[in-house]
Copies of this chain bind each other. A is one copy, B any other.
């Protein structure tokens, strides 16, 4: 998995800070997650082959996560896009995008497929042979979801000693890897579990922004390979979390710890602080494996 941070600051785009957007490369897919104003320019700057994006996930309809979407859709039209574009986001996203296209008299030549969300429970949003994407219900001032991207379990690993011992012909190896029981040279049924073990652990990535501290998401993201969690505030401003429905760095770290995450990536920093280093310092008091997002930073896991 390769995660490119296109923007990770809260509130308004500034001269050198982009609002939230991320590009996730996983099993040949290029998923765009959130799309604040200026995302299409950030995509160009990142040199991403963004015409390959077929699925865009929008967490909520605040401007710093959403106001760049209509421009990107329009640009795809001008670039002659033909591939379908799927958009997952809160109810209302279809109405507002279509209204803007209607007023510009510029409907897309490609199919724009909206998947509007309204459930307060986690739901499977997308699935193919290799990956699944689930919503993660969050708690913010407007209806908001995070997103969980999970590789499906791959092939089982052959235990070669056991395979030879069981006298299984080579032509059955692929079948065993897929999890099936097989018949050996003597005509006996050999249970799959006797000759294989689990393959490499499937990787996963959870995107959680924006939300106040919500520990009931922990079971959904248990053992996640990497967790992005918003941390708008430092501890000194924890009193602002209730009203604004945001989290502190420590709260994000607490979620990562409870979920046994492999890595915590912090973002959505309020621009009131002179340095983002404080976020890392405070989070690491709770969860050591913490990194800071930054515009155009790339994480591979």
Contacts and interface: CB of A to CB of B under 8 A. Distances in A.
Interface string A33-66: 0000110110011000000000000000111001
Copies of this chain, complex-wide, total 2
A284 interface: no
Nearest to A19: B71
B74 A12 contact: yes
B104 A62 contact: yes
Contacts of A74: 12, 63, 67
A212 B15 CA distance: 34
B71 A142 contact: no
What class of interface size applies to chain A in its complex with B?
35 or more
Contacts of A78: 11-12
B15 A105 contact: no
A108 B93 CA distance: 20
A45 B78 CA distance: 27
A75 interface: yes
Interface in A89-110: 90, 92-93, 95-96, 99-100, 103-106
B13 A40 contact: yes
A14 interface: yes
Q: Of A13, A45, A99, A142, which is in contact with the most chain B CB atoms at under 10 Å from its CB? A: A13
A141 interface: yes
Contact of A67 (B11, B70, B95): B70
Contact of A41 (B14, B63, B67, B104): B14
A146 interface: no
Interface string A129-148: 00000000000011000000
26 contacts: A12-B74, A13-B38, A13-B40, A13-B71, A14-B41, A15-B41, A37-B37, A37-B38, A38-B38, A38-B41, A62-B104, A63-B71, A67-B67, A67-B71, A67-B74, A67-B100, A92-B99, A95-B99, A96-B96, A96-B99, A96-B100, A99-B99, A103-B142, A104-B142, A105-B141, A105-B142
Closest 9 CB pairs of A and B: A61-B103, A12-B75, A37-B71, A63-B74, A92-B103, A15-B44, A67-B71, A105-B142, A62-B104
Interface of A: 11-15, 37-38, 40-41, 44-45, 61-63, 66-68, 70-71, 74-75, 78, 90, 92-93, 95-96, 99-100, 103-106, 141-142
Given A15-B41, A63-B71, A92-B103, 12 more contacts: A12-B40, A14-B41, A37-B37, A37-B71, A61-B100, A62-B106, A63-B70, A63-B104, A67-B74, A95-B99, A99-B99, A104-B142
